[in-house]
Structure 1
Amino acid sequence: MQLLNKAVVTEHLNMQAAIDAIEALLRHQDQNPNWIKSPDRLVIGTFSEDDKHSKGSHLSMPATIYDGEQEYTAVKLVTICPDNPSRNLPTTTAIITVSKNDTGEILAIMDGIYITQVRTAALSGIATKYMAKSDCESVAVVGCGGMAYEQLHAVLTVRPEIKTVYLWNRSHENAQAFKTRFVQDYDQWDVEIKVCEAIEDAIRDADVINVATRANEGLFRVEQIKSDAHINAVGAYQASMKEIGDDVIASSSMVVIDDLAGGRHEAGDLIQAHDNADCSWTWDDISGDLKELVTQKLKKTNDGITLFKSVGAARFDAAVALYVAQQAAQNDHGTSVDW
């Protein structure tokens, strides 16, 4: 069994590998739907909102993958701690185990923070690959927290022609820090990064808009963005949260979600749009899911606004974690221990 800390996972997992692993999973699921099992995550609320704590949550996310020869289980345990940035700690902490189902042998226990960030970003990268216009020149990052970092990396991976990045965050200082760190870590991208004082300045000319916040209401109006912009929305992971306004959702020519079953009770943006009697959009208007994009059963047909909503699902973590575990076993990454 391999023990893989965050440093080891980060060193041996790249964005393109994560994108490839998830696309392969989705094609595999389309061909053999019974070979992948991913029940709804178990979510337990933590704390009550007061002057000492923000509300958080603990999640348990199991999934099994059968590849035609061997079946594996990956289980991710996640704790979301909204107060952690003030402690100089990540908002999301996670650990993942990967095991073989025929013997129960544990192949790896690994830190799940980076895998969570990369797999979430990879989903947006895949959506951008299929939904954004082919001549993208700019991307806006709305919310410069932990999830936003790899989101930008994923978009640049699938759209390397992008030359301008706009950053906006409620804390201007954090946006500046994001810029400094990104330039240092990903100097292969020849892009100009601009930190914007106002959100409208960040999104006005953006061809792709990445949104990853804990907002409770829409952050911008449809008239503030380009008529053919593509939006990746990865925040608002609870029914009470919202970062994409109803007018943006109703005006989108395509609305695609990564996990339809989970989204119906977790995708706050879409849930609230559906429940709003003044909004014309309902769940009946959803275009499809990410699997249909990857298998080309769903294709972009016009140049209107496109929206990808991500809530995450255990099978996506499992696909990336299994790749990491197999690479670790083959190449002796991390620390090998008897169990």
Structure 2
Amino acid sequence: MQWLNQQAVTEHLTMQAAIDTIEALLHLQAAHPSWVKSPERLVIETFSEELFSNDNNISKHSTGSHLSMPATIYDGTQEYTAVKLVTICPDNPSRNLPTTTAIISVSNNATGEILAVMDGVYITQVRTAALSGIATKYMARTDCQSVAVIGCGGMAYEQLNAVLTVRPEVKTVYLWNRSEQGAEQFKAQFARDYGQWDVKLHVCTQLEDAIKDADIINLATRAEMGLFGIEHIKPDVHINAVGAYLPSMKEVSNEVVENSSMVVVDDLTGCRHEAGDLIQAHDTADCAWTWEQLSGDLQALVTGKISDVITEEVSTPKTKITLFKSVGAASFDAAVALYVAQRAEQQKLGTTLC
């Protein structure tokens, strides 16, 4: 059994490898639906608000979540199980710690042998970003020149890296964060750690300035209401929304949702229960969008079951806005973790524990 800390995982997992691995998983699921099993993840709210009034110590903590995410993958020869345990701690940036902490185990189901245990923070960031990369590859214009990064936390680095991986022609990146200091920190760190991309990074003090000229918008916030309307964005912009992972959260306004010519999600079941942007749009009486108008999921997009070409027949021909909404699913983590575990076993990466 190999133990891989965050440094080891980071050194041996590239964004392109994650994108290729997840695309292969989506094709595998389409061809053999029973080969990939991913039950809905268990989400437990931590430091929930109903406890606040009873305990002053608890009230010092922001509400977070603990998630348990198992999945099995049969590759035609062997079956594997990966289990990810995640804790989301919104107060961690003030402690100079990542908001999301995670660990993943990968085992061979034939023998029960644990192949590897690894830090899951980077895998979570990369697989989430890879989903946005895949969506951008199929949904965004091929001549995109600019990206807006809205929310400059830990997830945003790899999300931008993924978009640049599939759209290397992008030259300009606009940054906005609720804390301008956070955007400045992102600018310095991205320029230092992702020097392979020849892009100009601009910090914007107003959100509207960051998004008005963007061809692609990456959202990764804990917002509870839509951040902008259609008058603030280009009529053919592509949006990747990976924040708002609870029904009570919302980054994408109802107006943007109902005026999107294509809405694609990463996981149909998970999004119906967790994607606050779409749940609230569906449930709002004066919003025209309903789940019946969902274009489909990422698997259908990648395998060609839904077209990446926006046509006049789609519900709202006034715009060509495309929207990808992601909440994550254990199968994506499992595929990427299995890739890392198999590399670790073959190349003796990390630390051998037994």
With the length of structure 2 as denominator, give the TM-score of the two structures: 0.95
Residues of 1 paired with 2:236 and 2:48: CA distance?
41
In the alignment, does 2:209 pair up with 1:201?
yes
Amino acid at match of 1:208: I
Residues of 2 paired with 1:14 and 1:109: CA distance?
19
Q: CA deviation at 1:318?
A: 0.2
Residues of 2 paired with 1:138 and 1:47: CA distance?
39
**2:278 alignment partner, SS class:** helix
Q: CA deviation at 1:299?
A: 1.4
Instruction: Give unmatched runs, 5+ long, in structure 1.
Output: none
Question: Residue in 1 aligned with 2:170?
Answer: 162
Residues of 1 paired with 2:345 and 2:126: CA distance?
21
In the alignment, does 2:334 pair up with 1:326?
no
Question: Residue in 1 aligned with 2:3?
Answer: 3
Amino acid at match of 1:235: G
Q: Runs (4+) of structure 1 moved beyond 6 Å? A: none
Q: CA deviation at 1:296?
A: 1.2
Amino acid at match of 1:100: N
Q: CA deviation at 1:156?
A: 0.2
Out of 270, 295, 305, the residue aligned to residue 297 of structure 1 is 305
Residues of 2 paired with 1:299 and 1:121: CA distance?
22
Q: CA deviation at 1:301?
A: 2.1
Out of 280, 295, 313, the residue aligned to residue 329 of structure 2 is 313
Describe how 1:41-52 pairs up with structure 2 within 5 A.
Answer: 41-49=41-49, 50=52, 51-52=59-60
**1:253 alignment partner, SS class:** strand
Q: CA deviation at 1:48?
A: 2.7
Out of 277, 282, 288, the residue aligned to residue 285 of structure 2 is 277
Residues of 2 paired with 1:6 and 1:299: CA distance?
38
In the alignment, does 2:105 pair up with 1:89?
no
Question: Residue in 2 aligned with 1:101?
Answer: 109
Residues of 2 paired with 1:21 and 1:255: CA distance?
23
Amino acid at match of 1:304: K
With the length of structure 1 as denominator, give the TM-score of the two structures: 0.99
Amino acid at match of 1:330: Q
In the alignment, does 2:94 pair up with 1:78?
no
Out of 173, 181, 187, the residue aligned to residue 189 of structure 2 is 181
Describe how 1:27-42 pairs up with structure 2 within 5 A.
Answer: 27-42=27-42
What CA deviation, in whole Å up to 9, does each residue of 1:110-167 have, x standing for no partner? 0000000000000000000000011000000000011111000000000000000000
In the alignment, does 2:294 pair up with 1:286?
yes
Amino acid at match of 2:221: T
Residues of 1 paired with 2:353 and 2:121: CA distance?
22
In the alignment, does 2:231 pair up with 1:231?
no
Residues of 2 paired with 1:130 and 1:300: CA distance?
6
Residues of 2 paired with 1:335 and 1:151: CA distance?
29
What CA deviation, in whole Å up to 9, does each residue of 1:42-78 have, x standing for no partner? 0111113454011111100000000111000000000
Question: Residue in 2 aligned with 1:15?
Answer: 15
Q: CA deviation at 1:83?
A: 0.7
Count of paired positions? 338
Residues of 1 paired with 2:93 and 2:197: CA distance?
27
Residues of 2 paired with 1:299 and 1:48: CA distance?
42
Residues of 2 paired with 1:128 and 1:307: CA distance?
10
**2:60 alignment partner, SS class:** coil
Question: Residue in 2 aligned with 1:25?
Answer: 25
